[in-house]
Chains A and B, each alone.
Chain A
C-alpha cells in the first residue's frame, strides 16, 4: 500500500448547530486509491463529507489536504486547490444546460478558455451520453443522466480528490452499477476518491480500503479485499457487535 495520504481527517468532531454527530473521527484517503465509507443510516457519513468541506459546524479536529491544514478554508477555496464534492441531493443546476453546469464550475477555477474544451472532452469520454445532450437543460434529463451530470461537474479542471456522497441513492440497480463503475473509471484515471455509500456489496468490489462508521464513530477499517469474502464481519460492525476492532 504505497503512497502518502492525500486527505487526512484527524480527531474530527462535527455536527450541525449545537448537535454533535461525529466524535473524534480519524481517517485518511491515499493517493490513487478509492476509499469507501459505509455505515447504517444516521451514522454521520454525510456529515463527514460536509465537515470536510466546511459546510457543517466543526467543533474540534483537523482536515488535511496534501499535508496542508485546510479545516477552515471555505468551500470555494477548497475547490480551487483540487478538492471536489458531489452531494447526495440537489447536486446539479436544474435550470442550466449541461454545458452551463460544467462551465460554472470550470470557470470558477480556471480561466483559459481553450482548456475548457479539453476538460469537456475528458468528461464526454467518460460520459458519452452527455455530449449529445450538452445544450439541454438538466431538468429535462432522466435521473441517471442527471447523476452523470453531477459526477461530470466534479471532473472538470483536474480534480485531485473527489468525495461522492451516496451517488447511487434513488437509482435503479442497473444504473447504480453503471455509476459505480464510472466512479472506478474516474479513480483509475488518477483521481483519489472518497466514496460514501449505502450499497455496500457493490461498492466494496470497486474500493481499495473501507471504513465503517456507526453513530459518528469509526468502528472498523481495513483493506476491502478482506471483507469481500468475510462480509459478516462488516455486518457485525454495523450492528455494533464488535466495536473498535481494527484489521490492517
Chain B
C-alpha cells in the first residue's frame, strides 16, 4: 500500500510538472499580451499528433520527433496570433470578446484536427515509444519517461525564468506586462516582443504534446483535457502570478493523483470523481481570492508558504 501511495506521488509530480509548465505558458501570454489563449490546447494536440504519427507510422526516432513537434506548435502559435489575437488587440477588443475569439479559434482548429484524424484513421493514436522502467524499488516503478518529463519541464521553467529576468527581451516582456502603453512610449517594439512571446510559449506546448503522446493515448480532445486543469492552475495563481501558477499546477497534479488515490482507497470514492477534485481546488482558490472564505482563517490551518506576491488584498 505504501508502494501504491508512493506511485501516486510519482504520478502527481509528473502530471503536476506538465500542468505547471502549461500554466506558465498561459500566464505569460495573459500577462504580457493580455490574451486568454484557449487555443493553446490545440497547439498541444497538434504536437502530440505530430510526434505520435512520426514515431509510430513513419518510425522516426522519438527524440527527433520533438523538434518537429515544437516547430509545429510554434508555427501555429504565431499564425493564430497574427490572424486572430493581434487584430483584436489592435481594435481594442474587450477581454470577453478576446475570450470568445480564442475559444472559437480553438474549436476551429480542433475540428480541423478531427477531420484530419478521421480521414487518416488516426483518431486514437499513441507514440511509437514505450517507456522503460529505470528504477525499481520493491515494485515501485519509475520509468525513464517519468524522469524525462519532470526533468525537461523543470529545465524549461528554469530557462524561461532566466530569459525573463536576465535578458533584455525578458525585461521588455516584463515592461509590457507591467504597463503596455508605457512600453510603447519607451520605444519598445511591442510587435516584435509579442512575436517572441508567441515563440516562447509555443515551445512548451510542443514539448508537452510530444511527452503526452508517449505517456498516454491521444485523441483530438487531449489538449483540451490538459488545458482545463492548467487554466485552473492559472486561476489558483491569481491570473497574474507565475509562481502561483506553477504551485497551482503541482497542487492540481497532486489533487488529481495523490488525493484521488487516498479518497479512493480510504473512502471508496470512485475514480470518476477526479474532475470534481480539480473543480474543488479551483473553487477553493477562487473563494479565498473573492474573500468568501477569509484567507486568514485558512492560513492559520496551513503552513505559511509564500503563494502570493505581497498580500494580495
Contacts and interface: CB of A to CB of B under 8 A. Distances in A.
Contacts of A79: 185-187
A55 B186 CA distance: 13
Nearest to B169: A107
Contact of B182 (A76, A92, A103, A109): A92
Interface residues of B, number: 18
A93 B187 contact: no
Contacts of B168: 103, 107
Main secondary structure of the interface of B (DSSP, over half): helix
A91 to B, nearest CB: 6
A105 B185 CA distance: 9
Given A76-B187, A76-B188, A108-B189, A96 B175 contact: yes
Contacts of B185: 53, 55, 75, 79, 85, 87
A85 B181 CA distance: 12
Contacts of A108: 172, 186-189
A90 B186 contact: no
Nearest to B185: A75
A90 B186 CA distance: 12
B174 interface: yes
A5 to B, nearest CB: 23
B182 A91 contact: yes
A104 B184 contact: no
Given A103-B168, A103-B171, A107-B168, A80 B187 contact: yes
A88 B24 CA distance: 33
A55 B178 CA distance: 19
B179 interface: yes
A208 interface: no
A17 B190 CA distance: 22
A31 interface: no
B178 to A, nearest CB: 4
Interface string B189-222: 1100000000000000000000000000000000
Contacts of B178: 93-96
Interface in B92-125: none
B161 to A, nearest CB: 15
Given A96-B171, A96-B174, A108-B189, A75 B182 contact: no
A153 interface: yes
B311 to A, nearest CB: 14
A104 B171 contact: yes
18 contacts: A55-B185, A76-B184, A79-B185, A79-B186, A87-B181, A87-B182, A90-B179, A91-B182, A93-B178, A95-B177, A96-B178, A100-B175, A104-B172, A104-B175, A104-B183, A104-B188, A105-B188, A109-B187
The 5 nearest A-B residue pairs measured at CB? A108-B187, A79-B187, A105-B186, A93-B178, A104-B175
Interface of A: 53, 55, 74-76, 79-80, 85, 87, 90-96, 100, 103-105, 107-109, 153
Given A87-B181, A96-B175, A96-B178, 6 more contacts: A92-B182, A93-B178, A93-B182, A94-B179, A103-B171, A153-B186
